[in-house]
Amino acid sequence: MVLMSQPPDLSQGLERCSTCPIRHRAVCSYSSPAELTRLDDVKFYRDFEAGQEIVGEGEPTPFVGSVVSGVVALHKTLEDGRRQMVGLLFASDFIGRPMRNTAPFDAIAVSPVRMCLFHRREFETIMTDSRSLERRLLEMTLDELEAAREWMLLLGRKTARERLASFLMILVRRQAMLDKGSMANGSLITLPLTREAIAEYLGLTIETVSRQFTRMRKNGTIDLPDRRTIRILDLAELSGIAGEIVEDFNTRGTA
């Protein structure tokens, strides 16, 4: 990781795991109170500004850890600069591979990010002593693999329109999950990414992304109150474009 030499971070050690906002979703969510104390003792927080590099492709990664808040994008880059996003991480997602010391991708903070970090060796030691960390990490890795495969279908076979619709559906579903609300027409979605980052996510150019947004707006599928906000006007349509069959929507407007 690149920014470990930044100015000392006063937030370090100020929070306890037991009151952590990601306590019940992160890699430590299966950990007993005793194990949590052990993690508590060696964890440390680090903050990153939007745009900062957290890990550089090919660089050694002496740390692993969880996203506490903010959004992190993982990218791979070809020599001539073509770039593809290969991971998009939110609060509670885990970065870094135990037993591997160079990163196969860049990790960039796309918003202000707080990470809860461990020295890789220390994390590995605790994981070796502990059933629950390893079990949870396996589960999270299997989920990521499943998401990666869905993403491969998108990149290999979907049209630009379908790609954008699929991306918006992921955001809608995520929002509904967090709000514990149902998905509904009228709901407002905050885009966590710039047009450029969306293009890198979808394997498109920024111009194509912009044109597809405009097209959906003109069709009445969505509205764009401002550049970072989407209002879903026709969820059934959006989900249809995305190539999903979703049986049950709450179609009452909520806005």
Partner DNA sequence: CTGCAATCTTGATCTCGATCAACGACGCGG
Partner DNA sequence: CCGCGTCGTTGATCGAGATCAAGATTGCAG
Which amino acid makes up residue 100?
R
CB of 194 or CB of 250, closer to a second copy:
194
156 binds a second copy (CB under 8 A): yes
CB of 27 or CB of 216, closer to DNA:
216
Torsion angles phi and psi, residue 52, rounded to 5: -70, 145
The nearest distance, CB 252 to DNA, in angstroms, is 28
Secondary structure of residue 230 in the 3-state scheme: strand
Single residue of 36, 89, 158, 197 touching a second copy by CB under 8 A: 158
152 binds a second copy (CB under 8 A): yes
Please state the three-class secondary structure of 85-140 as a single string.
EEEEECCCCEECCCCCCECCCEEEECCCEEEEEEEHHHHHHHHHHCHHHHHHHHHH
Single residue of 4, 42, 50, 153 touching a second copy by CB under 8 A: 153
49 binds DNA (CB under 7 A): no
Tell me how far apart the alpha carbons of residues 36 and 98 are, in angstroms, rounded to a whole number: 19
Tell me how far apart the alpha carbons of residues 127 and 98 are, in angstroms, rounded to a whole number: 9
Single residue of 16, 24, 149, 228 touching a second copy by CB under 8 A: 149
Residues 45, 49, 50, CA angle at the centre, nearest 5°? Answer: 130
**Radius of gyration over alpha carbons of the chain, in Å?**
19
Single residue of 111, 132, 175, 210 touching DNA by CB under 7 A: 210
Please choose which of DNA, a second copy, none residue 129 contacts, taking the beta carbon within 5 to 8 angstroms, the exact cut-off set by kind. none
Which residue is associated with the tokens 């049209």? Answer: 159
Binding mask 151-190 for DNA (x = CB under 7 A): --------xxx-----------------------------
Ramachandran class of 99: left when φ > 0, alpha when ψ lies in -120 to 50, beta otherwise: left
| 222-226 β-sheet, strand order | 188-190, 229-232, 222-226
Question: What's the residue count for the chain?
Answer: 255
Single residue of 4, 42, 50, 138 touching a second copy by CB under 8 A: 138
Count residues binding a second copy (CB under 8 A).
39
What residue ranges bind a second copy (CB under 8 A)? 74, 76, 78-79, 82-84, 86-87, 97, 99-100, 104-105, 131, 134-135, 137-139, 141-142, 144-146, 148-153, 155-158, 202-203, 243, 245
What residue ranges bind DNA (CB under 7 A)? 159-161, 194-196, 203-211, 213-214, 224, 226-228
